[in-house]
Amino acid sequence: MQQLFPGEVFANTADFDTGIRQLLPRYDEMLEVITRCVPSTSRRILELGCGTGELSLKILNRCPNAQVIALDYSPRMLQFAQDKLTVAGYQKHWTGIQADFGDWADNPEKLDIGSGFDACVSSLAIHHLQDEMKLKLFRRITASLSKDGCFWDADPILPESPALAEVYKAAREEWSIQQGTNLTDIRAKLATTSTQGYSGQDQLASLDAHLQMLSKAGFKIVAVPWKYYGLAVFGGWL
């Protein structure tokens, strides 16, 4: 199988948008929650791990005057996102940068993206970092946001117990079947991911651990506006 960076999931980038919706329950709803939590008046928005640009697109549809700076370490994903945002007419509002956000957390001086962001967002990316690096990244985000800035992340979470792990797994499998998906067919499109920089295989943390890290990083208000079995949107405001 083709080796991919963590987060790329599918051997063919073009399979991602359809495939992720078949694998993950309520994917669009999850991203929609993030876009609603980002103030519509936001002017500068940072996205960490932009993938195929789905979240960027939803955010610019809601905040068409904003400037989105999007980081991703996959040149394939960035090109796919760039093409998508260009077709949508947002090429002047979106800048993709090939970079590892774990490296940005550890060595911010190596990547000059500025600060004073009104919002920072991420989806299905930060769970590839070890917990120590998650906290370091949250602190870097805190330093990069403007006063009253916010951060929202959509990610899978560590099940709170073995019993719930089974519940979460069953919910995901039932979702895939409801989409008319043959799990054998879709798994044939998956690829083996290899470690890239600070990111590796899934390194999940519990929802409670995430909220504690956000508080420790300096977020005055932490919240969970959405949760569906083993997926959650969490974040907060400075």
Tokens of residue 138, six digits: 């949250």
Q: Residue 119: in which H helix or E strand, if any?
A: strand 117-123
DSSP per position, 210-224: HHHHHHHHT-SEEEE
193 has a pLDDT exceeding 70: no
C-alpha separations of 228 from 25, 29, 100, 235 in Å:
8, 10, 28, 16
**Are 151 and 119 contacting, i.e. CB atoms less than 8 angstroms apart?**
yes
Query: Rounded CA gap, 45 and 58, in Å?
Result: 13
Q: What are the tens digits of pLDDT across the range 86-136? A: 999 999 999 999 999 999 999 888 898 989 999 999 999 999 999 999 999
**Are 234 and 153 contacting, i.e. CB atoms less than 8 angstroms apart?**
yes
* Residue environment code for 37-69, b if the CB has 16+ CB neighbours within 10 A, otherwise e: bbbeebebbbbbbbbbbbbbbbbbebbeebbbb
Neighbouring CB atoms inside 10 A of 179's CB total 13
156 has a pLDDT exceeding 50: yes
Query: Per-domain residue ranges for the chain?
Result: 3-237
Q: Which residue type is seen at 147?
A: K
Gyration radius from the chain CA atoms: 17
Q: What are the tens digits of pLDDT across the range 45-64? A: 999 999 999 999 999 999 99
CA angle 73, 76, 78 (to 5 degrees): 65
Q: What are the tens digits of pLDDT across the range 199-218? A: 667 789 999 999 999 999 99
Hunting for tokens 């985000």 — which residue is that?
141
Model confidence band, residue 10 (pLDDT cutoffs 50, 70, 90) = confident
Specify the CATH architecture of the domain 3-237.
3-Layer(aba) Sandwich (3.40)
3 has a pLDDT exceeding 90: no
Model confidence band, residue 194 (pLDDT cutoffs 50, 70, 90) = low
Query: Rounded CA gap, 223 and 219, in Å?
Result: 10
